[in-house]
């Protein structure tokens, strides 16, 4: 009766693992997989332990097995690797040497073969039980690698493998934010560059990589990627907006948006809207959406001025070459009305 219970349990776990991994393998395909296939548990904080099984299903005439399991050694450390219940008792099994646990490189090497007069195994069951200790917060794959299973004649048994993963990142606060947006100017002639400086901050508990997008009204300016921004740190991003072809005589609202990171709950600070930029016709110095005598007067008042001069007017520097001169006046004369 106990054997039937074990069999039912193993078949149930197999069905669950197969469903999770979306496998289309037939019931006759030999499977080797991590069980459970996923561990998502924010209560598994650093210092806690958990176990996984390396399970085989639908195998015939199994005599030996060997595998490597790769994991993220900044999140997990392996404590112990034991023989599972599918093989005979230890006195009838030889552990393939060496049973390595390498917590620096992040992998386990383990295997066993039947010895003596014991018969090879067929069916489904647990080959190995592995105990991990959590040492960090984040994600770790649990990837089977270099798997070898053979029959009693030392012939390889074809099989399919499925990996697992561990995730306790829900424990960590995930929160990226736009702190500030500043503009190089609030008015610009069409075709000129406007710099948009965006300050982002990681308000969460783990380093984050995310994209930041900038828009004028609902029109896209560009995307920049923030990479591995540490908890509590800020970064400055500068976007260059080329206003060539942008409709003039319009004031556009500038918006910056940080794409949410996984499991981010507070997204109210992911968007920052700050000020407007008015796009003007070249020569429209006073910004009244017309190029006329009033603009000529403005340029004349600034004639001969340069940055730092008391009569300096950057809007009158149409060239632009940091001096108000005859060339700027000529450009005003060439301007078209809005």
Render 128-194 in DSSP notation, one character per residue.
Answer: EEEEEEE-SSSEEEEEEEEEEEE-TTS-B---EEE-EEEE-GGGS---EEEEEEEES-SEEETT-EE
CB 129 within 8 A of CB 43: no
**Helices vs. strands in the chain: H and E counts, helices first:** 3, 20
CB 187 within 8 A of CB 280: yes
Does the domain at 2-171 match CATH 2.60.40.680? Answer given as yes
Residues 38, 111, 153, 160, Cα dihedral to 10°? 20
Residue 4: the pLDDT is 32
Reference 275, options 202, 191, 197, 221; nearest CA is 197
CB 168 within 8 A of CB 260: no
Helix (H, G, I), strand (E, B) or coil at 202: strand
- Residues 172-280, CATH architecture: Sandwich (2.60)
pLDDT of the chain, 338 residues: tens digit per residue: 333 333 323 333 333 443 434 443 445 899 999 999 999 888 888 999 999 999 999 999 999 999 999 999 999 999 999 999 998 776 778 888 766 899 999 999 999 999 877 889 999 999 999 999 999 988 999 999 999 999 989 999 999 999 999 998 766 788 999 999 999 999 888 888 999 999 999 999 888 999 999 999 999 999 999 999 999 999 999 999 999 999 988 999 999 999 998 778 889 999 999 889 999 888 777 777 777 787 777 777 778 777 888 888 787 777 787 878 777 777 777 754 43
CA 125 from centre of chain? 36
**Residue matched to tokens 């004349």:** 300
Q: Indicate where the chain has its CATH 2.60.40.10 domain(s).
A: 172-280
Residue 99: the pLDDT is 65
Q: Indicate where the chain has its CATH 1.10.1330.10 domain(s).
A: 283-338
Q: Indicate where the chain has its CATH 2.60.40.680 domain(s).
A: 2-171
Assigned fold of 283-338: Type 1 dockerin domain (1.10.1330)
Distances (CA, A) of 234 to 133, 208, 238, 329: 32, 11, 14, 44
Residue 233: the pLDDT is 97
Residue 315: the pLDDT is 78
Helix (H, G, I), strand (E, B) or coil at 26: coil
Whole-angstrom distance, CA of residue 173 vs CA of residue 217: 31
Distances (CA, A) of 247 to 1, 158, 195, 243, 277: 81, 65, 18, 9, 12
């Amino acid at each position: 009766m106990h054997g039937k219970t074990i069999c039912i349990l193993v078949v149930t776990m197999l069905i669950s693992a197969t469903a999770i991994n979306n496998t289309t393998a037939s019931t006759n395909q030999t499977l080797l997989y991590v069980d459970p296939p996923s561990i998502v548990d924010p209560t598994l904080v650093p210092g806690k332990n958990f176990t996984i099984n390396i399970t085989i299903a639908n195998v015939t005439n199994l005599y030996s097995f060997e595998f490597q399991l790769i994991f993220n050694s900044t999140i997990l450390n392996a404590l112990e690797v034991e023989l599972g219940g599918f093989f005979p008792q230890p006195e009838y099994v030889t552990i393939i040497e060496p049973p390595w646990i390498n917590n620096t490189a992040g992998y386990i090497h383990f295997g066993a073969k039947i010895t003596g007069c014991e018969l090879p195994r067929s069916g489904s069951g647990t080959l190995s039980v592995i105990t991990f200790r959590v040492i960090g917060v984040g994600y770790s794959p649990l990837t089977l690698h270099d798997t070898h299973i053979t029959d009693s004649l030392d012939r390889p048994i074809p099989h399919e493998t499925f990996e697992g993963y561990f995730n306790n990142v829900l424990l960590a606060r995930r929160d990226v934010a736009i702190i500030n947006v500043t503009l190089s100017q609030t008015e610009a002639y069409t075709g000129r560059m406007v710099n948009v400086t965006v300050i982002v901050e990681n308000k969460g508990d783990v380093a984050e990589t995310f994209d930041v997008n900038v828009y004028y009204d609902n029109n896209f300016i560009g995307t920049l990627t923030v990479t591995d921004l540490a908890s509590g740190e800020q970064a400055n991003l500068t976007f260059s907006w080329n206003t060539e072809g942008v409709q003039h005589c319009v004031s556009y609202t500038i918006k910056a948006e940080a794409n949410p990171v996984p499991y981010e709950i507070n997204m109210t600070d992911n968007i920052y809207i700050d000020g407007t930029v008015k796009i003007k016709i070249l020569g429209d110095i006073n910004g009244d959406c017309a190029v006329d005598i009033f603009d000529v007067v403005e340029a004349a008042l600034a004639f001969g001025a340069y940055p730092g001069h008391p009569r300096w007017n950057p809007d009158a520097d149409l060239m632009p070459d940091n001096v108000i001169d005859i060339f700027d006046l000529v450009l005003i004369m060439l301007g078209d009305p809005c």
